[in-house]
Structure 1
Amino acid sequence: MGSATTQALAATTAALDAASGVDLDVARELFAAARALGDSSQLSGALADSAAAPAARSSLVAAAFGGSVSAATVKLLTTVAEQRWSSASELVDGVEELAIRAAAIAEPNADVEDELFRFSRAIAGNSELELALGSRLGEASAKGVLVEKLIGGKTSPATTLIAASLVQQPRERRVRQLLSRATKLVADQRGRIVATVFTAVPLGAAQVDRLTASLSQRYGKNVSVNTVIEPSLVGGLRVQVADDVIDASVSARLADLRQRLAG
């Protein structure tokens, strides 16, 4: 990610936080805009062209989207167009990020992070489903409909919207990668970070609470804990927060012991 994009994302996120009336309709329109931009290199390239005046790029947003989306969505897309982006593809990613964050704002009480994580794990355990959603063949809209059939009514509307929208425009990204990014963005929007905890046996509620408190103190931020059962660990835990891995599993200690004995 280029430095220009980093600044652009900060500006667009701030605009979203300051916006009023952000609901699932706004999120849905932002996802549709991201798909339209992803499908049109000419349009996304024009909006990311730093040589063009910001006013000209804003006018292009009005011409392309003004008649089909709400005023709130147009305003957010105008903010996107006014920024400098490192590339057209990163501008598209930026609109998609806004859509995910908007969905998180629209349903503040829904456990979207956990629902996205569980759907990702379900995909990981079903190779046929992963192939169906990740294949380049087939209509993009049909993949969205499939996701809605699978999790619609079982997860919050925000989670269903995010997952069904992302699979329609993977842009060379694996489905689980898309869901993982969305989980982190939702957590970030809510002032949290995501910790994935691998354990040999399920953790009790009290254990999860203690672990959450400990990680929150360690990282100085509220932590959203997702657990993965991995019997090969034998016992103990392996915790991953972004690129940071804390491995306190029995299997890791045994591997360390074997290495020492071999040395």
Structure 2
Amino acid sequence: MGSATTQALAATTAALSAASGVDLDVARELFAAARAVGDSSQLSGALADSSAPVAARRKVVSDVFGTAVAPATASLLTTAVEQRWSTPADLVDGIEELAVRAAAIADGSADVEDELFRFSRTVAGNSELELALGSRLGDASAKGALVQTLLSGRASAAATLIASSLVQQPRERRVRQLLSRATRIVADQRGRKVATVFAASPLSPAQTDRLAAALSARYGSRVSINTVVDRAVVGGLRVQIGDDVIDASVSSRLADLRQRLAG
């Protein structure tokens, strides 16, 4: 991610935090806008062209989306195009991130991170489902409808909207990658980090609480724990937070021992 995009994301996130009237309809409109911009290289190029006057980019937003979206949506889109993005693709990602954050704000009482994580594990455990959602040949709206059906009554409106929207605009990304990114964004919006913990057996509530407390102290932020049962771990834990990996598993120590003996 370029420095320009980093600054642009900070500006759009701040604008969202200061906005009023942010609800699931705004999030839905932002997802649709990201899809429209992402599907048109001409539109994304025009909106991300930092050499073009800011007023011209604002006018494009007004001409394309106009009164078809809520005032809050139009304001957030305008803020997004006012920024300097490293690439047009980064602008699309930025609008999509705004949509995820808006959904998290709109449904603040739901455990959206956990619901997205659980759905990602469902996808990971069902190769046919992963293929259906990840195929380039499938109809985008049908994929969204499938996700809505699968999550109906099982997940919050926010998690359902996020997952069903993302599978319609994969942009060369795998479904699990999309869901993992969305989980991290939701956690960040709520002032948390997400730790994926790989263990040979499920953790007890007490173990989960102790681990969360230890990681929160280490990272200076609240940490949500998502556990993946992986028999290959053998014993101990492997923890991943963003790009950081803490590997205290028996399998890792055995692999290290074998390498030392071979060396």
Same fold (TM over 0.5): yes
TM range (shorter): over 0.9
- Structure 1 letter corresponding to 2:134: G
For residue 60 of structure 2, what is the aligned residue in structure 1?
A: 60
- Structure 2 letter corresponding to 1:49: D
| Distance across 2 between alignment mates of 1:245 and 1:38 | 32
| Distance across 2 between alignment mates of 1:84 and 1:259 | 48
- Structure 2 letter corresponding to 1:21: G
Instruction: State the superposition RMSD in angstroms.
Output: 1.0
SS in structure 1 at match of 2:170: coil
For residue 146 of structure 1, what is the aligned residue in structure 2?
A: 146
Shift of 1:95: 0.3
For residue 126 of structure 2, what is the aligned residue in structure 1?
A: 126
For residue 250 of structure 2, what is the aligned residue in structure 1?
A: 250
Shift of 1:243: 1.6
TM-score (norm 2): 0.97
Identity of aligned residues (%): 76
TM-score (norm 1): 0.97
| Distance across 1 between alignment mates of 2:42 and 2:259 | 56
- Structure 2 letter corresponding to 1:190: R
> Which string of whole-angstrom CA distances, capped at 9 and with x for unpartnered residues, describes residues 73-114 of structure 1?
000001011111111111111100000000011111111111
| Distance across 2 between alignment mates of 1:18 and 1:71 | 14
Shift of 1:231: 1.3
- Structure 1 letter corresponding to 2:256: D
| Distance across 1 between alignment mates of 2:20 and 2:92 | 23
> Which string of whole-angstrom CA distances, capped at 9 and with x for unpartnered residues, describes residues 213-247 of structure 1?
00000111110110000112221111111121111
Shift of 1:255: 2.3
| Distance across 2 between alignment mates of 1:241 and 1:115 | 18
For residue 101 of structure 2, what is the aligned residue in structure 1?
A: 101
| Distance across 2 between alignment mates of 1:207 and 1:18 | 38
| Distance across 1 between alignment mates of 2:218 and 2:139 | 45
For residue 174 of structure 1, what is the aligned residue in structure 2?
A: 174
For residue 13 of structure 1, what is the aligned residue in structure 2?
A: 13
Ranges in structure 1 where 5+ consecutive residues have no aligned partner: none
For residue 51 of structure 1, what is the aligned residue in structure 2?
A: 51
| Distance across 1 between alignment mates of 2:245 and 2:40 | 39
> Which string of whole-angstrom CA distances, capped at 9 and with x for unpartnered residues, describes residues 181-233 of structure 1?
10111111111111010111111101100000000001111101100001122
SS in structure 2 at match of 1:49: coil
For residue 76 of structure 1, what is the aligned residue in structure 2?
A: 76
Alignment: residue pair count:
263
> Which string of whole-angstrom CA distances, capped at 9 and with x for unpartnered residues, describes residues 126-145 of structure 1?
11111100001021000000
- Structure 2 letter corresponding to 1:105: I
For residue 85 of structure 1, what is the aligned residue in structure 2?
A: 85
Shift of 1:4: 1.2
SS in structure 2 at match of 1:202: coil
- Structure 1 letter corresponding to 2:42: Q
- Structure 2 letter corresponding to 1:207: Q
| Distance across 2 between alignment mates of 1:262 and 1:53 | 62
Ranges in structure 2 where 5+ consecutive residues have no aligned partner: none
- Structure 2 letter corresponding to 1:62: S
- Structure 2 letter corresponding to 1:43: L
Q: Does 1:110 align with 2:104?
A: no
- Structure 1 letter corresponding to 2:129: L
| Distance across 2 between alignment mates of 1:82 and 1:64 | 15
Shift of 1:259: 3.1
